[in-house]
Amino acid sequence: MSIAARRRMADESLRPALERAQGLYPVDTVATTLGGVRAKVITPKGGIPIRNQHRVLMSLHGGGFLTGAGTLSLLESIPAASLGRIKVVAIDYRQGPEHRFPAATEDVAAVYRELLRSYPARNIGIYGCSAGGVLTGEVVAWIEKKGGSLPGAIGIFCASAAGWNGGDSGSLADALNGEPVSAQYGSPPHPSIDNAVYFSEADFSDPLVEPIRSNAVLARFPPTLIITSTRDIALSPAVYTHTQLVKLGVDAQLHVWEAMVHGFFGIHPELPESREAWDVIVKFFDSRLGT
C-alpha cells in the first residue's frame, strides 16, 4: 500500500470520531502557512477571551511519523481550543518515508520562531500525542541546543522523552487490549520506537532524538504534563520520564487513566475519560502559561 493510500485510510477511519468531536467542541478552523510550514489554526466559536488573546498552543499530531496530518491533527486540537478558549496551531510537519529525522523537529521549530514574533515564549505551549509527544520532547531539546527561549509549558501525551515503546507496557499492552502480541514490539527496529523509516539515520543516544539520554537537557525542561493510560504501549516510558524529570527538579505532572488505550482522548472524544483528560490539559496550560 502506498503511503498516500495509507494516509487516506487513516483519515477516513477517524472521520466519524472527528464528526463527534466537532459536535461536542465547536470551533473554527483555517488552513495557513507559518514559517514556511503548513498548519491549521483552530479557534473556539465565540472568540478568544482577553486572558488568552496573548497565548497560543502548538499541537503536534500523532501517527507514527507517517500519518495523522489530516483527521488526527484536528481530533487532537479541537477539544483544547474549545475547552481552553484558546488558539491552537496544529502543525503539518514533514514525516517519513519522504523525509528523515530531524525534518519534523525543524518544521516545528520554524513555526515556533514565527509565533515568537507575536507571543512571548512563556505564553506558548507545545503538546503532542504519540509521535507528537515524542516530537514535543525533541523540539524542546532542539530549542535548548540552539540557545532559544523555551516555551512556557509542554505536554507529552501517549509518549515520553524516551520514545513510545519498551518497558513492561511495550510487552503487555497488546495483550491488555485483547490483541495478539505483535512480534514487532518484541524486537523493534529501534529500541524505543517502532519506526525504521523516519528515524533510519538517527542516533538514539543523541538527546535530540531521545532527551532522556541527557540529564542536562531534561533538567531545563519547562513545566511538563505527561498523560498516559494503563493499556497504552507508552505507559512505561511515560512513567520513567516523569520519574527522571521529578528527580531533576522539573515541574512535572503525571496522569494515568485506567483501562484506556493509546491516545484514547483523541480518537474517542465521546468518552467521559476523554473529557477528563482534556480538562486536565487545558487547566495545566492555563496555570503554567504567562498571561
Q: What is the model's pLDDT at position 182?
A: 58
φ, ψ for residue 231 (rounded to 5)?
-110, 20
DSSP E strands in the chain: the ranges are 27-34, 37-44, 56-60, 87-91, 124-129, 153-157, 224-231, 252-261
Question: What are the strands of the beta sheet with 37-44, ordered from one edge?
Answer: 27-34, 37-44, 87-91, 56-60, 124-129, 153-157, 224-231, 252-261
Q: What is the model's pLDDT at position 232?
A: 94
The three cell numbers of residue 176 are: 491488555
Q: Residue 234: how many CB atoms within 10 A of its CB?
A: 33
**What angle (nearest 5°) sits at the alpha carbon of residue 19, between those of residues 17 and 20?**
65
CATH architecture of 3-288: 3-Layer(aba) Sandwich (3.40)
pLDDT in tens, 233-268: 999 999 999 999 999 999 999 999 999 999 999 999
Q: What is the model's pLDDT at position 195?
A: 64
Q: Residue 206: how many CB atoms within 10 A of its CB?
A: 15
Whether cis (ω within 30° of 0) applies to the bond prior to 97 is: yes
Q: Give, as one character, the DSSP assignment of residue 69.
A: T
Q: What is the model's pLDDT at position 186?
A: 45
Q: Give, as one character, the DSSP assignment of residue 32.
A: E
pLDDT in tens, 75-134: 999 999 999 999 999 999 999 999 999 999 999 999 999 999 999 999 999 999 999 999
The model carries a pTM of 0.94
Contact criterion met (CB below 8 Å) for 123 and 54:
yes
Q: What is the model's pLDDT at position 194?
A: 62
pLDDT in tens, 163-217: 877 777 777 767 676 776 655 444 445 556 666 689 998 999 999 999 999 999 9
- Virtual torsion, Cα 157, 163, 168, 169, nearest 10 deg: 40
Kindly tell me the burial class for residue 59, based on how many C-beta atoms sit within 10 Å of its own C-beta (0-12, 13-18, 19 or more). buried
Q: What is the model's pLDDT at position 174?
A: 72
